[in-house]
Structure 1
Amino acid sequence: MIQKINDRVFVIGSEGSANVVIVLQSKGAIIVDTSLFPEKAQKIREFVEKALKKDILFLVNTHYHPDHTFGNFIFEDMQIISSNLTREKMMLMDEQYLKNLPTLSKLVPASITFENEYWQNQVLIKRVGGHTPDSSVVYLEQEKILITGDLVFNGFHAEIVQDSDLEEWLNALENLKKYRADWIIPGHGEFMDKGCLDQMKRYLTKIQRLLDGTITYAEILSDENFSTRGFPELFSWGLENLMFQRTK
């Protein structure tokens, strides 16, 4: 499903899949994240080049997870930008990591990397960590739009993985409020105003409290910020990952 924020920014995603963002500028288009499936990435490339009639200036990966990077294969001839940590994480994907994922002809990491932040074409890419150590956000200064990657899940339970850092994640969400952004585009779910940053903070804070034993599982389930979110299996899986962290 293709949604337009305005005549220059398109969000492609449906039913909780990872969002792909297309940003049109005068000289061409920028694409943020490339989806799990190269077939989908191919259709996105055709949409930009044939339907929108724009050259692709460069692509950005917000973090290393396959649902944000596997489509890189279709854009191998383009500039792909990520943090150097995202590139390193992708290069560590071995057969064990890839065995339950869609078959990929070739893993294509970024061709341009940065340590902490990168500016190009009035676009800021900044590594903030939290969801994963390499998680980055993309700020469209001219558009006043912030693309958060998986730091924000809107309407769906968060994917909390074994290298997530809840404290860092919460700090990052608080710091994101400082950006002049009219719209937030999450990694998964519908774009909305800055209210989704607070929703995400409350979500993660309650998970912390559940692990610390200061609230009950029943209290969590009675909260609409949990009960109305899709993919409840991710909630249980995330708790398992956090409990595993605490035993290390």
Structure 2
Amino acid sequence: MSEMTSTLRILEPYPGIFAYYDGRVPGKRLHAKTANWLDDGAYSLGVASYAIVDQGEALVYDTHISLDHAKAIRTHLEALGVTKIRVVLSHWHKDHIAGNAIFSDCEIIGLTLTAEKLKDNREKIESANPPISPLVMPTTLFDGRLDLTVGTRRIELHHFAIHSADGNVIWMPDERLLLAGDTLEDTVTYISEAAEIGTHISELARMASWPITKILPAHGDAERIASGGYGPDLIDANRAYLRHMAGAIAAGQDIDPSLKSFVEEEIASGAVLYFAPYEEVHASNTAAVRAALSR
């Protein structure tokens, strides 16, 4: 194990479903002491990629935050006897695609919109800090929905325009399990496209109508993920946060700068867990939504 993956944890919330979780380690940084995308917002908040394994096949959901993390995922899967790997991208953001090159010999599945976003942002991604270069693109594109099997497991990929316009979730209908990527987040969602907050709210309502029993997000609490994930009330909590913020700003009201106070009901119910570094996310969200709605 490299220094880069020294705190990586491999969890198995369900038989044959693995979470590759890293981050939320107080005082620890992986890349640099100065500001960078890997440490600030990915590692600091905790980040997980996933793999679904059955009968020698694996479906990897996101390729993690570095080549070393991706290598660790592939090494683990091959040690399990996996001989066929496919990759699914949840969306185009850097902390979900940084390890694509390790799977360049595999089918990489993404939304058409994800491929467009990656192409449009290739130069920024390849020159980022740390750089993701060369950027390896998805090889199989779809729109809306794509059905797959992994061994005997039924898998559905579905487009949800939440957090990012190209959100792509994995739905396992037999298990009623949702692998959510960044469409859902604990403590609160990071609002990366503030002008689309109305779309995010309506898409969360659509998601809430599904018969979901458990949710595994890309950013959340390691112990809750390890014990089977979040309940569907995570959807309601994320939606309430967006509705509360958008409504207050549209009405010209002040937003409580304390995240702990702003979402105290959702914390009290257990739908989400309070994690102090999300205070910075809340401050960023507030500024972004205020700017977007005042235009």
Q: How far apart are residue 220 of structure 1 and its match? A: 6.1
Q: Per-residue displacement from partner, 1:194-237 (whole Å, max 9, x unpaired)?
A: 11111111111111123223653238642324893433212222
Confirm whether residue 4 of structure 1 aligns to residue 35 of structure 2. no
Q: How far apart are residue 247 of structure 1 and its match? A: 4.8
* Alignment equivalent of 1:196, drawn from 225, 228, 234: 234
* Alignment equivalent of 2:207, drawn from 156, 172, 176: 176
Alignment length, in residue pairs?
246
Q: How far apart are residue 189 of structure 1 and its match? A: 0.4
Q: How far apart are residue 123 of structure 1 and its match? A: 1.0
2:208 counterpart letter in structure 1: K
The answer to whether the Cα contact below 8 Å between 2:201 and 2:239 also exists between their aligned partners in 1 is yes
Confirm whether residue 216 of structure 1 aligns to residue 254 of structure 2. yes
SS of residue in 2 equivalent to 1:233: helix
Rounded Cα–Cα distance in structure 1 between residues aligned with 2:288 and 2:84? 38
Aligned partner of 1:167 in structure 2 is 198
For structure 1, the 5+ residue unaligned runs are none
Aligned partner of 1:228 in structure 2 is 274
Rounded Cα–Cα distance in structure 1 between residues aligned with 2:172 and 2:159? 15
SS of residue in 2 equivalent to 1:153: coil
Q: Per-residue displacement from partner, 1:59-98 (whole Å, max 9, x unpaired)?
A: 1001100111111111000001010000110111244455
The answer to whether the Cα contact below 8 Å between 1:48 and 1:56 also exists between their aligned partners in 2 is no
Rounded Cα–Cα distance in structure 2 between residues aligned with 1:103 and 1:233? 24
The structure-2 alpha-carbon separation of the partners of 1:232 and 1:243, relative to structure 1 and needing over 3 Å to count, comes to same
Aligned partner of 1:54 in structure 2 is 82
Residue correspondence of structure 1 range 108-119 to structure 2 within 5 A: 108-119=136-147
Aligned partner of 2:170 in structure 1 is 138
Q: How far apart are residue 169 of structure 1 and its match? A: 1.2
1:177 counterpart letter in structure 2: A
The structure-2 alpha-carbon separation of the partners of 1:159 and 1:219, relative to structure 1 and needing over 3 Å to count, comes to closer
Residue correspondence of structure 1 range 236-247 to structure 2 within 5 A: 236-247=283-294
The structure-2 alpha-carbon separation of the partners of 1:219 and 1:20, relative to structure 1 and needing over 3 Å to count, comes to closer
The answer to whether the Cα contact below 8 Å between 2:85 and 2:107 also exists between their aligned partners in 1 is yes
Aligned partner of 2:226 in structure 1 is none
SS of residue in 1 equivalent to 2:82: coil
Confirm whether residue 64 of structure 1 aligns to residue 95 of structure 2. no
Aligned partner of 1:40 in structure 2 is 69
Q: How far apart are residue 103 of structure 1 and its match? A: 2.1
The structure-2 alpha-carbon separation of the partners of 1:60 and 1:96, relative to structure 1 and needing over 3 Å to count, comes to closer
The answer to whether the Cα contact below 8 Å between 2:249 and 2:293 also exists between their aligned partners in 1 is no
Rounded Cα–Cα distance in structure 1 between residues aligned with 2:81 and 2:122? 37
Percent sequence identity is: 21
For structure 2, the 5+ residue unaligned runs are 1-8, 25-44, 222-228, 268-272
SS of residue in 2 equivalent to 1:179: coil
Moved over 6 A (4+): none
SS of residue in 1 equivalent to 2:52: strand
The structure-2 alpha-carbon separation of the partners of 1:102 and 1:56, relative to structure 1 and needing over 3 Å to count, comes to farther
SS of residue in 2 equivalent to 1:139: strand
SS of residue in 1 equivalent to 2:47: coil
Rounded Cα–Cα distance in structure 1 between residues aligned with 2:128 and 2:284? 16
